[in-house]
C-alpha cells in the first residue's frame, strides 16, 4: 500500500483524511531516510520528496503546480490551438468534452482545460491522484487560473472500471484521451527531467493499457486520441485513422465522427 509521510504534527488530521480518501498508509518521518521518492505533506501541500539524501545534498521534490513553472509558461506561450494535442483532440470554435483516462500529473488535462474543454480526469495510482488533487485545490485559489481549474473534474480510480458507455448518445463524452506510461529509449534516460524520473518510479509501466482502447472507443462519441512514443507500436496494435507525429511523441487519432456539437 502507498504511504504518506506527515512532516508536521499540526497537519496530522489533514494527513489522515488524505489517507482515507486515497487509500494511503501514514508512515513515520524516518522513512525519508530510505532511497526512492516518498509522498510527503507539509504546509506547502503534497509533494514527492527524494529519500536517502546525504546531509548537505539537495533533495529533489516534485509538486503539482499549475500557477508557476513550465505549466504556466505553456499556458501563456504554448501555441494555443496550434499545439498538436489541440489538433488531435479537435479543438476549434467548438470545445469538445474530454475524458483524460490516464491523467497522471494533470498537465494535458490542464492544457485542454486552458483551451476551453471540460475535462474529466481519471487517475488510478493513489500517490499521483493525491498529488494531482492537491495541485488542483491550490490552483482553484489562484484567481489567474481558477476558471481553468473549474473545468477539470478529478476521479480517483482505474479507467478499466470508470470508462463506461453512456446509454444515450447525448450523454456521451466527445473525446477520450489516453496517455499510458510507455517504455522509453535507454539512451534518452539521462535527458529525462527529475520530476518525470520520480513520476515513473511511482507509476511504473502501464502494462494493461491495450485493454483501454476498446473501452475508450465505446465511450467516445467523436474520437479517441492516444499519445505514444514516436516509434512505438499503436496501442493494442490497432492502426489509427491518422497520426500527428512530433519529434519525440505522436498522437494516434481514432475517428468515429466529426468533432462538432450533436445535432
**Distance, first Cα to last Cα, the chain:** 47
DSSP annotation of 110? H
Q: What is the mean pLDDT of the chain?
A: 91
For residues 126 and 237, membership in a common domain is answered with yes
Give tens-digit pLDDT for 228-255: 999 999 999 999 999 999 998 999 999 9
For residues 192 and 144, membership in a common domain is answered with yes
For residue 38, being part of any structural domain is answered with: yes
Cell 490542464 locates to 110
Ramachandran category for residue 247: left, alpha or beta (phi over 0 → left; psi -120 to 50 → alpha): alpha
Question: Which residues make Cβ contacts (< 8 Å) with residue 77, sequence separation at least 6?
Answer: none
For residues 30 and 108, membership in a common domain is answered with no
Q: Which long-range contacts (CB under 8 A, 24 or more apart) does 151-154 make?
A: 151/113, 151/116, 151/117, 151/118, 151/119, 152/106, 152/109, 152/110, 152/113, 152/119, 152/121, 153/118, 153/119, 153/120, 153/121, 154/103, 154/106, 154/121, 154/123, 154/129
For residue 158, being part of any structural domain is answered with: yes
Confidence class of residue 205 from pLDDT cuts 50, 70 and 90?
Answer: low
Tally of domains within the chain: 2
Domain range holding 104?
A: 69-255
For residue 248, being part of any structural domain is answered with: yes
Burial label, 127 (beta-carbon count in 10 A; 0-12, 13-18, 19+): buried
For residues 162 and 127, membership in a common domain is answered with yes
Outline where 11-95 has alpha helix (H): 12-22, 69-77, 84-89
For residues 107 and 160, membership in a common domain is answered with yes
- Alpha-carbon dihedral angle through residues 66, 70, 75, 79, given to the nearest 10 degrees: -160
For residues 74 and 204, membership in a common domain is answered with yes
For residues 8 and 26, membership in a common domain is answered with yes
For residues 241 and 163, membership in a common domain is answered with yes
Confidence class of residue 73 from pLDDT cuts 50, 70 and 90?
Answer: confident
Of 70 and 212, the structure prediction assigns the larger pLDDT to 212
For residues 22 and 75, membership in a common domain is answered with no
For residue 263, being part of any structural domain is answered with: no
For residues 42 and 148, membership in a common domain is answered with no
pTM: 0.91
> What's the CATH code of the domain at 46?
3.40.1630
Amino acid at each position: 500500500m502507498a504511504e504518506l509521510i506527515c512532516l508536521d504534527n499540526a497537519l496530522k488530521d489533514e494527513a489522515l483524511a488524505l489517507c482515507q480518501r486515497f487509500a494511503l498508509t501514514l508512515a513515520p518521518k524516518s522513512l525519508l531516510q530510505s532511497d526512492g521518492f516518498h509522498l510527503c505533506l507539509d504546509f506547502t501541500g503534497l509533494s514527492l520528496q527524494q529519500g536517502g539524501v546525504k546531509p548537505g545534498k539537495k533533495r529533489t521534490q516534485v509538486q503539482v503546480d499549475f500557477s508557476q513553472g513550465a505549466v504556466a509558461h505553456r499556458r501563456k506561450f504554448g501555441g494555443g490551438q496550434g499545439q498538436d494535442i489541440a489538433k488531435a483532440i479537435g479543438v476549434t470554435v467548438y470545445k469538445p468534452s474530454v475524458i483524460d483516462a490516464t491523467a497522471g500529473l494533470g498537465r494535458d488535462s490542464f492544457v485542454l482545460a486552458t483551451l476551453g474543454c471540460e475535462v474529466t480526469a481519471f487517475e488510478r495510482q493513489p500517490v499521483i491522484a493525491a498529488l494531482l488533487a492537491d495541485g488542483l485545490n491550490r490552483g482553484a485559489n489562484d484567481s489567474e487560473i481558477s476558471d481553468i481549474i473549474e473545468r477539470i473534474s478529478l476521479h480517483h480510480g482505474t479507467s478499466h472500471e470508470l470508462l463506461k458507455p453512456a446509454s444515450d448518445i447525448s450523454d456521451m463524452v466527445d473525446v477520450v484521451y489516453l496517455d499510458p506510461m510507455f517504455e522509453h529509449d535507454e539512451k534518452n534516460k539521462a535527458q529525462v527531467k527529475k520530476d518525470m524520473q520520480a513520476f515513473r518510479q511511482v507509476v511504473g509501466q502501464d502494462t494493461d493499457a491495450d485493454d483501454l482502447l476498446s473501452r475508450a472507443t465505446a465511450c467516445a462519441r467523436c474520437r479517441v486520441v492516444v499519445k505514444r512514443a514516436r516509434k512505438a507500436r499503436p496501442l493494442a496494435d490497432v492502426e489509427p485513422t491518422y497520426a500527428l507525429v512530433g519529434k519525440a511523441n505522436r498522437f494516434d487519432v481514432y475517428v468515429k465522427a466529426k468533432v462538432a456539437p450533436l445535432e
